[in-house]
Structure 1
Amino acid sequence: MFIERNIKFFYLKIFRRVRSFLLSEKSRKVLIFLFFFFISSGFWLLQTLKNNFEIELAIPVKLKNVPNDAVITAEPISELHIVVKDKGTTLLNYFFGHDFYPISLDFADYQDLGNHVIIPASSIEKRILSQLSSSTKLVSIKPDVVDYFYTMGASKKVPVRLRGKISTGRQYYLTDTVFSPDSVLVYAPQSMLDSIKYVSTHAVLLKEISDTVHTRVQLTAIKGVKFVPSVVNLTLPVDILTEKTLEVPLLGINFPANKSLRTFPSKVKVTFQVGLRRFKSIRPENFVFDISYEELMKIGSEKYKLKLKSVPAGVSYVRIIPNQVDFLIESIPAYGY
């Protein structure tokens, strides 16, 4: 109750002060000044609006009657920007009381122009002028052409490629680059379609990542080409690197039936880095040394520097200990009857 009484008292106090000010001599002077100020401003505005001005207006553009089997691969602009000149009173009408009808482009009227339709803005100038006052001067039209691309269903699937730079934190590495979907449908005029082998993403720049990244990326637009979809999901799996050592036997390749290879030692240690997820799956048989009979016969020495013929995917920084071995080619005796 006390609070309501205080609020009522406060508003009564404010009301009395406002009424006292409005009935005072000072208030009358202020009101008289404001009255003549607005009158003079009105006359100034009316006088100013009699002068000529230039303004920019926007007129919508619409492509209509597109056949069901036609695919618009690059839409025409949605509006034309025109600069007009007239008296201020007329220009005010364009701003506040005039809605422009869209400039309609009938697909059939331009179908004979090919897959890339180019319509000079000057050719639709009459349709613009028909919506303007007779006193209005059309100064310019931007852009100076309206164009669009279309195809009558020509399409193909192409793979998606990553564009950008990815770096991982220390002791981490990128195991793969996964897109979903990994390919997209491309619609384009046949002449353009033949040259498109893949589609790139917008630049992806990531530094020092240490965990798997999931994101959506936009495909890089090509004028006159439509991608379905135009956005794909990107997954960048990241794994931590660890070191592993295996003993791998040395075996000869392409040896004749009556020859065999002996190396000293018969096994070497292969130390490498691999992701923690693949640590257990890497086995000695995944490493193959290229010790061919033909090469051993050419070197003229009993020492051979080891070279790996195949390395499992995801393995890096491979070290071989020892990286050079002694060898001996033995003849296998033939046993007859």
Structure 2
Amino acid sequence: MFERRNIQRTYLKISREVKDFLLSDKSREFFIFLFFFFVAGGFWLLQTLNNDYEADFSIPVRLKGVPNNVVITSEPASELRIKVKDKGTVLLNYMLGKSFYPVILDYADYKGVDNQVRIYPSQFEKKVLNQLNASTRLLSMKPDTLEYIYSTGASKLVPVKLRGTLSAGREYYLSDTIFSPDSVLVYAPQGVLDTIAVAYTQPVKLEDISDTLRQQVPLRIQKGVKFVPSSIEMMLPVDIYTEKTVEVPLRGVNFPADKVLRAFPSKVQVTFQVGLSHFRQINADDFHIYVSYEELLRLGSDKYTVKIKNLPKGVSQVRFNPAQVDFLIEQVSLDYGD
């Protein structure tokens, strides 16, 4: 009850103060000033809008009537940027009231050369001028030429390839680069289509990757070429490095029938880095140390430096213990039967 009385008292007090202010001499002077201020502002605005100004506007561009057997591989510009000059009142009408209709290009109206169509200002400028007031001057249009390239159904499937650089964080590595889809359909005029073997991605630069990454990557835009789809999903599986050691025997190759390789030791320890997910899959049978007879003859010493030509996939940072082995080429007798 007490709170309600306080609220009523406060309301009545504020109402009286507002009423007294509105009926006071100061209030009348304030409203007279405000009235003349708005009148002066209105005159100033009308005077300002009566001057000539330049302004930029955009008009949409649409291509219609494309036959079913035609693929537009490079679209025309989606809009025309026009610069016009007129009185401020007219430009204000363009900004606030008038909306521009699209410039319609009918496919059947234009003939191309080598699957390329160029439409010059003289062929579409009238469609712009028809939407402007008679007093409006068209100063410029950009682009000043509309063009598009088409293919009459010629296409082929090409693989996707990465363009860019990828690097994993410390102690991690990228076990693969997977694209989905890994191939895309490419449409282009026949002469251009014959030169396309792969679809490259837009340049990609990713560093210090420490977790499996999925990313949508657009394909590189080429004039007169359309890829379907125009972007692909790239997955970068990331694995952590671990170290493993296996024992691998040295095997002689291309030795004459009466000679054999004797190596000391006959096996070496191969230590390497491999992703944790492949640790159990990689074993000694995946490594082959072949020593050719011809190579040993060229050495001129009895020490052979161990090396492997082909490493299993996912293996890196390989080292041998020992790095060199002693060897001799032993003559063996051939036992021929009767």
CA distance in 2, matches of 1:170, 1:47: 69
Say which SS state the counterpart of residue 99 (structure 1) adopts: coil
CA distance in 2, matches of 1:201, 1:246: 40
CA distance in 2, matches of 1:228, 1:8: 73
Following TM superposition, by how much is the alpha carbon of 1:107 offset from its aligned partner in structure 2, in angstroms? 0.6
Following TM superposition, by how much is the alpha carbon of 1:67 offset from its aligned partner in structure 2, in angstroms? 0.8
Segments of 5+ residues of structure 2 without an aligned counterpart are none
CA distance in 1, matches of 2:146, 2:18: 61
Say which SS state the counterpart of residue 83 (structure 1) adopts: strand
CA shift in 2, pair 1:144/1:92, >3 Å: same
Matched, 1:334 2:328: no
Following TM superposition, by how much is the alpha carbon of 1:28 offset from its aligned partner in structure 2, in angstroms? 0.8
CA distance in 2, matches of 1:56, 1:298: 80
Segments of 5+ residues of structure 1 without an aligned counterpart are none
Show CA shifts across 1:39-96 (max 9, x none).
Answer: 2222222233332222222222111101111111222222212122222233233223
How many residue pairs get aligned? The number is 337
Show CA shifts across 1:116-174 (max 9, x none).
Answer: 22212243222221222222211111221112222112222222222333222222211
CA distance in 1, matches of 2:210, 2:55: 55
Match of 1:127 in 2: 127
Amino acid at match of 1:267: K
CA distance in 2, matches of 1:7, 1:156: 81
Match of 2:205 in 1: 205
Match of 1:280 in 2: 280
Amino acid at match of 1:78: S
Asked if 2 retains the 8 angstrom alpha-carbon contact of 1:304 and 1:327, the reply is no
Match of 1:26 in 2: 26
Asked if 2 retains the 8 angstrom alpha-carbon contact of 1:260 and 1:332, the reply is no
Match of 2:189 in 1: 189
Say which SS state the counterpart of residue 84 (structure 1) adopts: strand
Following TM superposition, by how much is the alpha carbon of 1:321 offset from its aligned partner in structure 2, in angstroms? 1.6
Pairwise CA RMSD of aligned residues? 2.2
CA distance in 2, matches of 1:186, 1:8: 78
CA distance in 1, matches of 2:81, 2:153: 32
CA distance in 1, matches of 2:62, 2:33: 52
Show CA shifts across 1:223-258 (max 9, x none).
Answer: 332222222211111111111111111111122333
Say which SS state the counterpart of residue 94 (structure 2) adopts: helix
Amino acid at match of 1:106: D
Asked if 2 retains the 8 angstrom alpha-carbon contact of 1:213 and 1:235, the reply is yes
Match of 1:293 in 2: 293
CA distance in 1, matches of 2:57, 2:310: 68
Following TM superposition, by how much is the alpha carbon of 1:202 offset from its aligned partner in structure 2, in angstroms? 3.0
Identical aligned residues as a percent: 58
Describe how 1:1-337 pairs up with structure 2 within 5 A.
Answer: 6-325=6-325, 326-337=327-338
CA shift in 2, pair 1:60/1:5, >3 Å: farther
Asked if 2 retains the 8 angstrom alpha-carbon contact of 1:119 and 1:145, the reply is yes
CA distance in 2, matches of 1:11, 1:116: 77
